Amino acid sequence: MTKGPAKTNTSGRGQRELRVRVKTAKGRKLSSTLWLERQLNDPYVQRARKEGYRGRAAYKILELDDRYGFLKPGARVVDLGCAPGGWCQVAVERVNALGQNPKKPVGTVLGVDLQEVEPISGAEIHQLDFLADDADEKVKTWLGGRADVVMSDMAAAASGHKGTDHLRIIALVEAALAFAFDVLEDGGTFVAKVLAGGAENEMQALLKRNFRKVANVKPPASRSDSSEKFVVAMGFRGREQSGDGAADQDE
């Protein structure tokens, strides 16, 4: 079973930082070498390996939940595009999906992805295209009701063109949001990764009409040189009321 994140000394005192240097191998692009070097020296990558998470992205959802507290014990959670599974691992711990704390309600974690994902203890994983016409009904059947949280760390395949990539991920987030409208419980939460770039105004307006609070956050685990940020929309108004009003608060 995966252990929760351990406390680490982040002050750097009494520690000597040893940076790994990677030589460019024959046939390997410089960009690939730089990526490999960054991975080897990334403290979140090292921490994920030590603590049993499937990737550094696990710390992004951990940090977001530490701040907003949407992964409550007993919650029903859907993770869209869940591969490789780090977000599901965190959700399992936070919603008490394994029932390890008998004093708290047991939650449900459902992960869906186009590709096959290795099993995760405490989570139910399905190979599914969430854009399929019947995907929402399948998910609600598997959950035994509506979801309290729909979350997505999905990103469209990179084209190398910043503007194109931005538009692609906004379209993907809007599709995830439309899915969330179909499966979320009233008062539920939607969390998704986006890329800053200026084309998200319409999406932000849609979020503010449908949720009572919308925050745009860059958690510490998100690399400083990345344009990614996350939207955390809380207090889903419900499908019948979602067209009225505006968000009570925006960060």
Q: Tell me, yes or no, whether 84 and 37 share the same domain.
A: no
Residue 79 and residue 183 share a domain: yes
Residues 154 and 200 in one domain: yes
Task: Give the global pTM.
Answer: 0.79
Does one domain contain both 150 and 238? yes
CATH code at position 193:
3.40.50.150
pLDDT, position 26: 52
pLDDT number for residue 4: 46
Q: Could you list the pLDDT tens digit for every one of the 251 residues in the chain?
A: 444 444 444 333 333 344 545 445 455 554 444 444 455 566 778 888 898 898 899 999 999 999 999 999 999 999 999 999 999 999 999 999 999 999 999 999 999 999 999 999 999 999 999 999 999 999 999 999 999 999 999 976 666 666 677 778 888 999 999 999 999 999 999 999 987 765 578 889 999 999 999 999 999 998 787 888 999 999 999 865 544 444 455 56
Do 27 and 88 lie in a common domain? no
Instruction: Summarize the annotated binding site for S-adenosyl-L-methionine as residue ranges.
Output: 85, 87, 113, 129, 153
Phi, psi of 47 (to 5 degrees): -65, -40
Whether 63 and 47 share a structural domain: no
Sign of the Cα pseudo-torsion (170, 91, 108, 148, in order): negative
Does 15 fall in a domain? no
On whether both 44 and 92 belong to a single domain, the answer is no
32 and 102: one domain?
no
Range of the domain at 26: 21-51
> Is residue 8 situated within a structural domain?
no
**Number of Cβ atoms within 10 Å of the Cβ of 162:** 12
Quote the number of domains for the chain: 2
Q: Where are the beta strands (DSSP E) in the chain?
A: 76-80, 108-113, 123-127, 147-152, 184-195, 211-217, 228-236, 249-250
Residues 161 and 198 in one domain: yes
Catalytic residues: 193
Tell me what pLDDT residue 93 has.
97
pLDDT at residue 122, rounded to an integer: 98
pLDDT computed for residue 117 by the predictor: 96
Structural domain includes residue 164: yes
| Same-domain pairing of 91 and 63 | yes
User: Do both 29 and 118 map to the same domain?
Assistant: no
Write the DSSP string, 138-200. HHHHHHTS-EEEEEE---PPP-S-HHHHHHHHHHHHHHHHHHHHHHEEEEEEEEEEEE-SS--
Report yes or no on 2 lying in a domain: no
25 within a domain of the structure (yes/no): yes
